[in-house]
Structure 1
Amino acid sequence: MAATVPPFYRTFFATIDPVICFTGILLPLFAPDIYLKSFSPTAAIPPAVETRVCLDNLAAWFTACFLLQVGLLRARPNDLTVWRFLQAAILIVDVGMLAAYGRAFHAQGRTKWSLWRLEEWANILVTVGVATVRTAFLMGVGVGRSERVKRG
């Protein structure tokens, strides 16, 4: 049986994306100051209890996502439907993260791109990059016609 997920997407979603996701586990848990400062130059350090709870919840989400990316995608390597549902779910999170960045910049009066710091640009560019790859996959870009029609 031919693989339904093209090699580029297979490598990206099952190997590269989990590495990116892993930073979302480690930083909120073990380096919350660095993590928070990467989103706001005025981050409250040390984080308040409610912020710490949100960071721990975020790390839990990233852990679940990591396990799905590493485990589920390898367990169902030819199930295009599983791959699409997972990427659609994570794309919702990517879009939500980008909206959160925009909301934060607006609240800080930093809507001009020239006011963004290097770490903020890095966060946004990585998120836009992975969201673009997810969107292309979901639109069937690079997926052969016979694979697009297959439903797992």
Structure 2
Amino acid sequence: MSTTDSTTFKFYAFFFKWIDPIIALGGAYLNFIDPIGAVTSLAPNSKYDPDQVFLFHQSGGLALAVAFLSATIPRYSKDITVWRILQFSLLLSDLAGISGVGFAMARQGRLGGSWTSDDWGCGGSYVFLTLVRLHFLVFSRGISGISDSPTVRKQS
């Protein structure tokens, strides 16, 4: 990707502008509208505690912020450094999410393979997002910007 590989950047542009925000909106929906689903999807033995609703609203608000930033920054900035900063910050969030999935499953003794479809969906989406972000961050080094033309400029 350190050359002018426009096909690769078309994938990232599409993914970061459309897929990432939709996934984040799904997280916002769970936290605001279906907090019971948010709790039981990865911790089936857990109970939703309405006294902790502030945690769900805080998480939902963060998901909305992620959706907004993911949808707008790639549309309004051609600066690859800005894209890299955003993706690195979201990578940190994804790593925390993977950690949360792992700790939740370990706590319930479910790391050994008795995974539910929710485990695969949530854990798998975090792993997929993390790999996409890592690939972008590693292979976009040396690119100075994204132009409106089908090519990408390489830093000298």
Q: For residue 42 of structure 2, give the secondary structure of its aligned residue in structure 1.
A: coil
TM-score by length of 1: 0.85
Gaps of 5+ in 1: none
Q: Aligned letter for 1:85?
A: I
CA distance in 1 between counterparts of 2:98 and 2:28 reads: 19
Task: Sort the Cα spacing of 1:96 and 1:148 in 2 relative to 1 into closer, same or farther, 3 A.
Answer: farther
Shift in alpha-carbon separation, 1:3–1:109, aligned structure 2, 3 A: closer
Runs (4 or more) in structure 1 with deviation over 2 Å come to 2-5, 143-150
Is 1:36 aligned to residue 39 of structure 2?
yes
Give 3-state SS (helix, strand or coil) of 1:19's partner: helix
Partner of 2:61: 60
* 1:15-34 equivalence runs, <5 A: 15-34=18-37
Q: For 1:16-63, what per-residue CA distance to the aligned partner results, in whole angstroms no more than 9, with x for missing partners?
A: 111111101111101111221111111213x2312x111110011111
Deviations 1:120-143 (A, max 9, x none): 1110111111110100000016x9
Residues 36 and 147 of structure 1: CA distance in aligned 2, closer, same or farther (over 3 Å)? farther
CA contact (8 A) 2:80 2:143 kept: no
Match runs of 1:1-152 below 5 Å: 6-45=9-48, 47-50=49-52, 52-76=53-77, 78-112=78-112, 114-140=113-139, 147=153, 149=155
Q: CA RMSD in A?
A: 2.6
Give the Cα separation in 2 of the matches to 1:124 and 1:137. Answer: 20
Contact 1:14/1:69 (8 A) holds in 2: yes
Contact 1:140 1:148 (8 Å CA) reproduced: no
Give the Cα–Cα distance (whole angstroms) in 2 for the partners of residues 71 and 83 of structure 1: 11
Structure (1/2) with the larger strand percentage: 2
Q: Which residue of 1 aligns with 2:147?
A: none
State the identity as a percent: 26
TM superposition shift of 1:72 = 2.0
Q: Paired residues, what number?
A: 145
C-alpha separation between the residues in 1 aligned to 2:153 and 2:51? 48
Residues in 2 aligned to 1:96 and 1:12: alpha-carbon distance in whole angstroms: 21
Q: Provide the TM-score with structure 2 as the length reference.
A: 0.83
